[in-house]
Structure 1
């Protein structure tokens, strides 16, 4: 298992509790560009945040992750099959899938070997879709604190690959003709504990805590709370999504 898979696996419960959910319109749009809707694959599925909404559109959803801990935390309604696998080595039949998605994970394994595996698995005309989101937007005072925490406090602790998220995946080249998607965003009304719980799922926070022996989010909390205002009031949070979508030959 890779270091990244181990890191997210160790924090699978928090990941399931505090990561935001993707908009239904995103899955509606992806499904609308699939000529068939028999089989979809969610690679690096984590706790199933993309797998579950895909099931509304596809007869069968396959969902894999390199972390067994993440799979144990995943939702498993009827029609979703979970299995452990590396992104670039899938135990599936060639030309068998109508859609492959990667949600907030492509930057960890966007290699030629991975895209060769995607090409092998998709039916002719099948769809590949990957997306990421970077920093949340709430309001100027909170955004400034979170941006400074992200870039300065945690600046040297992000694993390789995170720069692709910062660029909105513009640095990743896929070997398929591209589709231009509409704009999508994650939107939520969050409490203050949801915000701090989410920050603690960041990989750099976990690396920082391991090396420094203390929780950097706890050190940031007083300033966040002052900027938040009334702790009893939820705040509107928005994450713009960045998509990379292509059609297999």
Structure 2
């Protein structure tokens, strides 16, 4: 039986605790694809899940997020610097980044302005990636109950931008030389508390709470707890990774002026 507590009362610290970790292979891929491994920039970094992973493959990583609460709870790591800043005004010099990533965050950006900032801070040939993970997958009856909650019960509380995440940013403009992304997924083994803690970080859950939908959330937690069994039992949770992957084009040198040889 689920402990009678409010699983959905979350702040930046809980966000850092419960958000799923990206696979090591994702950061390794960016390092291999980038023109150099000097500096990577993680935009909308949240609490630094991807930022710290990139630091294992790049000499320096800068994580930026507009939320001071998220940055206050960001994971420290060697070679990582964090800054409270918007995607549309990045605190970096021109032409310094070999990779620019935005994980589970690009749907909040003013994309044309962000793209202009990417071109400004990126070195020629830099990798640019908009990353999202799809709707989580649970097996059996747990999966069916979760899907009903996600689609019908909490669905109306998602902001319109959530559709961009669910379809992997497929419908947005992406003005870079696009490349096929690797096939990757996030796979976690979670107990009941970890699963419900993660659900509690959703913006839709926070919106539902603001609108007095505590009973709806509690009913879902009770149903999931009954299906889960032992709260300490581990269940496999999977998120497919989606990505729009591109490269900042290398500018071709201007044609040299033709100089006439000889004299008339």
CA distance in 2, matches of 1:91, 1:243: 25
Q: CA RMSD in A?
A: 1.4
| Aligned twin of 1:177 | 177
Please identify runs of 4+ aligned residues in structure 1 that moved more than 4 A. none
Alpha carbons of structure 1 residues 120 and 215: separation in structure 2 relative to 1, 3 Å: farther
What is the TM-score when the length of structure 2 is the normalising length? 0.87
* Alpha carbons 2:134, 2:167 under 8 Å: kept: no
| Aligned twin of 2:67 | 67
The answer to whether the aligner puts 1:205 opposite 2:221 as a matched pair is no
| Aligned twin of 1:36 | 36
CA distance in 2, matches of 1:38, 1:50: 16
| Aligned twin of 2:147 | 147
Structure 2 residues not aligned, in runs of 5+: 1-9, 250-264
* Alpha carbons 1:196, 1:217 under 8 Å: kept: no
Cα offset for 1:230? 3.3
CA distance in 2, matches of 1:50, 1:155: 27
Cα offset for 1:29? 0.9
Matched residue pairs, number? Answer: 240
CA distance in 2, matches of 1:226, 1:141: 11
CA distance in 1, matches of 2:110, 2:237: 28
Cα offset for 1:114? 1.1
What is the TM-score when the length of structure 1 is the normalising length? 0.92
CA distance in 2, matches of 1:171, 1:248: 20
Task: Spell out, residue by residue over 1:173-200, the C-alpha distance to the aligned partner (whole angstroms, 9 max, x if none).
Answer: 2110111122100001100111111111
SS of the aligned residue for 1:47 comes to coil
| Aligned twin of 1:56 | 56
* Alpha carbons 1:44, 1:103 under 8 Å: kept: yes
Cα offset for 1:214? 2.1
CA distance in 2, matches of 1:102, 1:51: 10
My pick for the range that moved more, 157-166 or 188-197, is 157-166
Cα offset for 1:110? 5.2
